[in-house]
């Protein structure tokens, strides 16, 4: 028989002592009924059987185990929803910030790239060099961010049960997404600058 978490799903199972009904001193008592089909549909029949035994018995808070489980996790579910909303907002802002900063940086290098092409540099080689220059700080930042995420994820342990806060798939997916956005923000402006007539770029500058 499996352990029973009588207090909360987030708390480990503790030793319990079961007493006969006549020896229990609790003011309120719980009756657990196992049914086939819809449990709430059997509630009137159970209530009638209890009143047949004791007409003065007070019956209240008829709930299914699904409802009890849902109620016990309501605060955790709300906290998870709010945290996920903040996390999604932060991810979108981070992606927009990275894209905007890198696109602006590449726009400022249009003159440099035009001069390189005008001097005979191979466009593909210049694009590869630019991408590598951008990749180094991005990889360093992504590595630092993933390490910080692993350390800060310990704070989420109190809100989880039976699962670990360390999800390598999600962490790597988030880091890879930001790297793809950063690479796109670098590649698109650099490609446009390298395929533009160098004379036009230099005259506009």
Please state the domain extents for the chain: 21-71, 74-204
- The answer to whether 109 and 203 are in contact (CB under 8 A) is no
How far, CA to CA in Å, does 89 sit from each of 86, 96, 174?
Answer: 5, 11, 13
| Confidence at residue 163, expressed as pLDDT on a 0 to 100 scale | 65
Nearest in space to 99 (alpha carbons), one of 17, 189, 198, 202: 189
Lowest mean pLDDT among 23-27, 70-74, 192-196, 199-203: 199-203
Q: Which of 108, 87, 105, 107 is nearest to 177 (CA)?
A: 87
**pLDDT digit string (tens) for 57-96?**
777 788 888 888 788 778 778 887 888 898 889 888 888 8
Tokens of 136: 């180094």
Q: How far apart are CA 66 and CA 152, in angstroms?
A: 32
CA distance 140 to 155: 24
């Amino acid at each position: 028989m499996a352990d029973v978490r009588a207090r909360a799903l987030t708390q480990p199972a503790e030793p319990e002592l079961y007493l006969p009904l006549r020896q229990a001193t609790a003011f309120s008592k719980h009756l657990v009924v196992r049914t086939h089909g819809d449990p709430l549909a059997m509630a009137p029949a159970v209530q009638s059987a209890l009143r047949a035994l004791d007409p003065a018995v007070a019956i209240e808070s008829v709930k299914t185990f699904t409802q009890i489980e849902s109620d016990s996790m309501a605060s955790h579910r709300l906290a998870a929803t709010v945290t996920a909303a903040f996390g999604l907002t932060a991810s979108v802002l981070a992606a927009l910030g990275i894209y905007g900063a890198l696109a602006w940086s590449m726009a400022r290098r249009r003159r440099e790239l035009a001069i390189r092409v005008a001097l005979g540099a191979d466009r593909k080689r210049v694009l590869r060099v630019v991408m590598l220059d951008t990749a180094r700080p991005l990889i360093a930042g992504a590595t630092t961010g993933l390490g910080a995420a692993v350390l800060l994820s310990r704070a989420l342990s109190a809100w989880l049960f039976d699962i670990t806060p360390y999800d390598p798939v999600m962490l790597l997916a988030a880091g890879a997404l930001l790297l793809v956005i950063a690479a796109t923000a670098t590649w698109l402006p650099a490609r446009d600058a390298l395929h533009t007539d160098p004379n036009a770029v230099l005259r506009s500058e």
